[in-house]
Amino acid sequence: MNQTQMKLVRIHAFGDSNVLSLDSVPVPELRDDEVLLRVHAASVNPVDFKIRSGGYPQVGESQLPYAMGRDASGVVQRVGKNIGSVQAGAEVYAMSDMTHGTYAEYVILKADQCAVRPTSIDHAHAAAVPLAALTAWQGLFDHGELSNGQRVLIHGGAGGVGHMAVQFARHAGAHVIATASAHDIDFVRELGADEVIDYHGEPFEQLVKNLDVVYDLIGGDTRDRSFKVLRRGGILVSTLGEPSREKADEYGVRVVGYKAKPSGEQLTRIAALIDEGEVRAHIAKTFRLEEAAAAQDFLEKGHLRGKVVLVDIASTP
Ligand SMILES: NC(=O)c1ccc[n+]([C@@H]2O[C@H](COP(=O)([O-])OP(=O)(O)OC[C@H]3O[C@@H](n4cnc5c(N)ncnc54)[C@H](OP(=O)(O)O)[C@@H]3O)[C@@H](O)[C@H]2O)c1
């Protein structure tokens, strides 16, 4: 590799999308336990604009300049001395940790964050998968312990995480109920939901009850109203912080709030499901690396079906 400089998108201050800066920096040095990925596509997640605006407590002033992005699909350029599991030239996808941004021509990853990407889809669709799919997988199975025959309500079934969750839950043999806007009902049904509730219409708590699991991607009032639709001993899993313990006791249910973690091992299982045609990633819109601000604005504006992805990064001028 002759390239010594690379483009990446960073913030030097918190604010609106105007603070996103396409910077030129040296291609990072590799440690013995790391992998250098040539990024072809990177997806955009709500956490990105939460960090950018200064609304994400884990990223403070002391971490500026901060490199954006957690998802990547690309080609392994080089591997550190201690890496045996991944080789240069491998096409992998990954969710990075908080220390390296993927809106970049190259990103450093740990080998155990990477998995061989699904071969039946392109880099753009592969990049749409990691954070959203790992969040859904860990929420439903590691935390929610969802199993065959159980009934689950997924709030926000059309979004980045929700559209993955609906497909995973259906694949696991659960009875899947999801909430979505009216314009997304057919989309969520096609993903495999047994029932889709238009959340602008009748309140979901008047339509369902005695559920085993509620998977909450919305928070606030939606989460508060979810306690009463669980059976005693059921579980409310949320991506938006810890649900109320007091309410959990009142309703006799369990609650968990969690943050998704990188996992190459789970991404390998998810890649198999994608290549078997069991799960697909839906892209709402693609942008180029230099359009990262427009991409974040598009996601932040809301009402999305699936994911926003930065594409053709390897050919950024
Ligand atoms: N803890 C973690 O590790 C973790 C990981 C990933 C994501 N998250 C968080 O989880 C949330 C969801 O992430 P995402 O990537 O799926 O977001 P997203 O792609 O923006 O999807 C949100 C979806 O929810 C729909 N929606 C909005 N209000 C709703 C309501 N009251 N009931 C049902 N659906 C509603 C939206 O469409 P309409 O507005 O058109 O209905 C959209 O389809 C975000 O807040 C994100 O930050 C946390």
Question: Largest Cα–Cα distance of the chain, in whole Å?
Answer: 63
What is the average pLDDT across 299-314?
A: 95
What confidence tens digit (pLDDT) does each residue in 26-57 have? 999 999 999 999 999 999 999 999 999 999 99
The pick from 96, 195, 207, 239 for probing ligand 1's pocket by mutation, whose C-beta has the most ligand atoms within 8 angstroms, reads: 239
Name the residue with the closest Cα to ligand 1, atom 4. Answer: 239
CA of 202 from ligand 1 middle (Å) equals 20
222 Cβ inside 6 Å of ligand 1: yes
What confidence tens digit (pLDDT) does each residue in 110-155 have? 999 999 999 999 999 999 999 999 999 999 999 999 999 999 999 9
Domains, the chain, ordered by start:
5-129+281-315 (3.90.180.10), 132-257 (3.40.50.720)
> Residue 226: CA atoms inside 13 Å, Cβ hemisphere, count?
33
DSSP H helices in the chain: 46-52, 123-127, 130-137, 160-171, 185-191, 220-224, 245-251, 264-275, 292-301
Mean model confidence pLDDT for the chain: 96
What confidence tens digit (pLDDT) does each residue in 65-114 have? 999 999 999 999 999 998 888 899 999 999 999 899 999 999 999 999 99
45 Cβ inside 6 Å of ligand 1: yes
SS3 200: coil
Question: What is the reported pTM?
Answer: 0.98
- Evaluate whether 22 touches 33 at the Cβ level (below 8 Å): no
296 Cβ inside 6 Å of ligand 1: no
